Amino acid sequence: MSDSIQRSAAVLYQMEEETPGLKESAQALVSDTMLWPALNGTGATREEKEELIRTAPMLAGKEQLTAFVLLLLEQGTLDSLPAILRELRQLELAAQGGAVCVVTCARQPDEATLEDLRRAVCRLRGLERVVLQIKIDPAILGGFRLEVQGVVYDRSVRGRLERLAQGLKGDFDADSEELEGLVEGLKSKIQGFEVEDGSDMGSLVQNLKTRIQDFQSVGEVQEIGRILSVGDGIAQIQGLDRAVYGELVEFETGVQGMVMDLSRNSVGCVLLGQEAGLREGSIVTRTGRPADVPVGEAMLGRVVDALGQPLDGMGPIRTTETRPIEHEASGVISREPVNAPLQTGILAIDAMIPIGRGQRELLIGDRQTGKTAIAVDTILNQKGEDVICIYVAIGQKASSVARVRDTLQKHGAMDYSIIVSATASDPAPLQYIAPYAGAAMGEYFMSQGKDVLIVYDDLSKHAVAYRALSLLLERSPGREAYPGDVFYLHSRLLERSSRLSDELGGGSITALPIIETQAGDVSAYIPTNVISITDGQIYLQSELFFQGQRPAVDVGISVSRVGGDAQTKAMKQVAGNLRLDLASYQELAGFTQFGSDLDEATQKQLTHGARMTELLKQPRYKPFEVGEQIAVLFAGNEGFLDDLEIADVLPFRAELIEYLDNGFGSLLDKVRAKKIDDDTKAELLRVIGDFKQQFMAKHHADTTGSEEN
């Protein structure tokens, strides 16, 4: 690498410290598939290229960077900008301490020799650690040649012979190539250019030239290795002896990777991007930090990938905070019991399978049974409830994720939501880290004392992605070819969901993991694992779905281990016997479906059960507020539905809710706030009775009119 590139990178590094964001803008310029080729091609004149640089959108408002690029253009070295950016990344890594020593040998040295060289260089340069980069050059005949921190120590046979011939003794410093073209000024046209804010571009360029000319090289700090093999999203790396599990590494193409396998002679790394441009021998650099994602309020309303990078075309995300994707779950002492409800807006769930804030409630069922619909409805119902919602799409079609986003946008739910997308077309490593990235984003808000809802859609595909990675890393397969630690995979994820104590802010994370079954087989490996981890399960049956029961919740086997603790007093009061009534109805219906002579009590029970079952049907994207739910369940329990036709139950419910919302808001406030006492019960009976009379009169009038016509 030329000295001019090193000096330019060093100055750009200092500029980045003074004005953050320049590196990203420069990278955006290099990555632009239309602008960058035009600047480096022969189809445009110098003046046209200058105009392209001045008007480039990624350089807008960044006068120093614009001057920097114009300087490179004038000197004919604009094509070196990618190399400057690579050197800049090395400088950023070097800021962590240590140094790289390039060792040139005639043949590959053994480990003992390398260790001796490390200790010697540390003593010689006063370093705490040294990373050796080995180069084999038979032309040096023997011995070795060291290059560290810009200084060369030549102990090769060839070097000694040359010094003997020239009468030289001792070590010599490597000659530094003078920075010739880069320190020349821009021509009068560029120097006279005035930017919109009135600053003189010429002065900026002159200042930049001075900084480059006067810059003094500093020692570099980096620990590097080289790729042994790469393919299928996996890279085996040699030389990163101090790498730790879960650490981020950076490849020379700018792609990042995460360490997932540690062995004696190599490090297994999964690529968090495309492997194009990577080959055997490519350089890999340690970052010294665990894999992390950006977090903060700026993430709300955005669609991001598993690395937190925007996918929605709405520009960069302005946030400065990050959190590691892997984080230890809160301990027992720091947790509070789950006793605050998180309303889904779905009548069947809130009444019989309540979900509390901090709970882990599994949604399980076959494909196309409404699992995602329940999750989306739950997100929609959090509007105005001060709950942050995170939807993590794992292995879904991109069109499905877009449909969820459009639904949330249409109903105003994106204002408090984040979508983390790792679609089926994304590499398996991104699908693997996606739920952990979502959990990290949620933990940020939980630490601020806020309530968070996370939907993992779905963990079946997450397990498949992990299985693919594990097999490529040559880990031993077990049941269904999954590695033995797949249980730990999901347990450490879901255990991060909790409700914190008041001393820690009282925030919570509620998890709704989704598992897809095959032909209703809940005894498969992944379903049984996740069932044992969660605090309850909502089973969705294909048969109920095809029968028109939406949501297709099997209330007989669905369960919430939190139970009534996650319900308001009034909801617990009206829903207490609902599950038993429905179970009795289903049993009676099975015994009497072929009978015709039924006693009055049995017929009454069947009539009541059929209408309560119909009452629980609910369309998509129509969540009910808790007061509305209590009112309609109260009406059902008190027998207001028993003399209605089945077809009239849902219209009765819809019109009753509208009737109460428009004229009896205070009554709904009462049932939301406290238990239904005798006075409130009497008022409910009176109001619902009056409404039923109106409903029946309207219904009878409509029927009579249609018959007369």
pTM: 0.69
From residue 326, how far is each of 228, 241, 257, 316 by CA, in Å? Answer: 27, 22, 15, 24
Residues paired with residue 335 on neighbouring β-strands, in sequence order: 500
Contact yes or no for 108/143 (Cβ under 8 A):
no
pLDDT for the residue numbered 162: 73
> Looking at 381-440, which runs of residues are DSSP E strands?
387-394, 417-422
Residue 686: count of CB within 10 angstroms of its CB: 11
- Average pLDDT per 10 consecutive residues for the chain, totaling 709 residues: 71 79 82 80 80 84 83 82 77 62 82 78 69 80 76 77 55 37 36 44 65 55 82 88 89 89 89 86 88 92 93 88 90 90 92 93 93 95 94 94 94 95 91 95 94 94 93 88 91 94 92 93 92 93 88 88 85 87 80 69 85 90 91 91 89 92 88 89 91 84 49
Q: Is the dihedral of CA 21, 25, 31, 32 positive or negative?
A: positive
| Dihedral, CA of residue 106, residue 110, residue 112 and residue 115, to nearest 10 | 60
Q: pLDDT per residue over 36-49, tens digit each? A: 788 888 777 888 88
- The candidate with the shortest Cα–Cα distance to 28, out of 97, 85, 87, is 85
Q: Is the dihedral of CA 629, 634, 635, 637 positive or negative?
A: positive
- The candidate with the shortest Cα–Cα distance to 357, out of 566, 535, 531, is 566
Residue whose entry in the numeric block shows the structure tokens 């006068």 = 63
pLDDT for the residue numbered 117: 79
If residue 3 lies in a helix (H) or strand (E), which one and from where to where?
helix 3-18
- Cα 704 versus chain centre, distance: 59
550 is catalytic: no
- The candidate with the shortest Cα–Cα distance to 286, out of 478, 532, 509, 97, is 97
pLDDT for the residue numbered 594: 63
Residues in the chain: 709
pLDDT for the residue numbered 1: 46
DSSP 241-305: TT--TTEEEEETTS-EEEEEEE-SS-EEEEESS--TT--TT-EEEEEEEE-EEEESGGGTT-EE-
pLDDT for the residue numbered 216: 53
pLDDT for the residue numbered 593: 66
Residue 228: count of CB within 10 angstroms of its CB: 15
Catalytic residue among 54, 226, 335, 561: 561
Q: What is the Cα–Cα distance from 94 to 105, expressed in whole angstroms?
A: 25
Q: What is the Cα–Cα distance from 343 to 377, expressed in whole angstroms?
A: 10
pLDDT for the residue numbered 630: 93
If residue 673 lies in a helix (H) or strand (E), which one and from where to where?
helix 665-673
Q: What is the Cα–Cα distance from 55 to 39, expressed in whole angstroms?
A: 12
Judged by DSSP in three states, 107 sits in coil
Judged by DSSP in three states, 432 sits in helix
Do you find a cis peptide bond into 623, omega within 30 degrees of 0?
no
Q: What is the Cα–Cα distance from 61 to 196, expressed in whole angstroms?
A: 9
- For residue 282, how many C-alpha atoms fall within 13 Å in the half-sphere facing its CB? 18
The phi and psi torsions of 174 (rounded to 5 degrees) equal: -65, 135
Q: What is the Cα–Cα distance from 687 to 498, expressed in whole angstroms?
A: 41
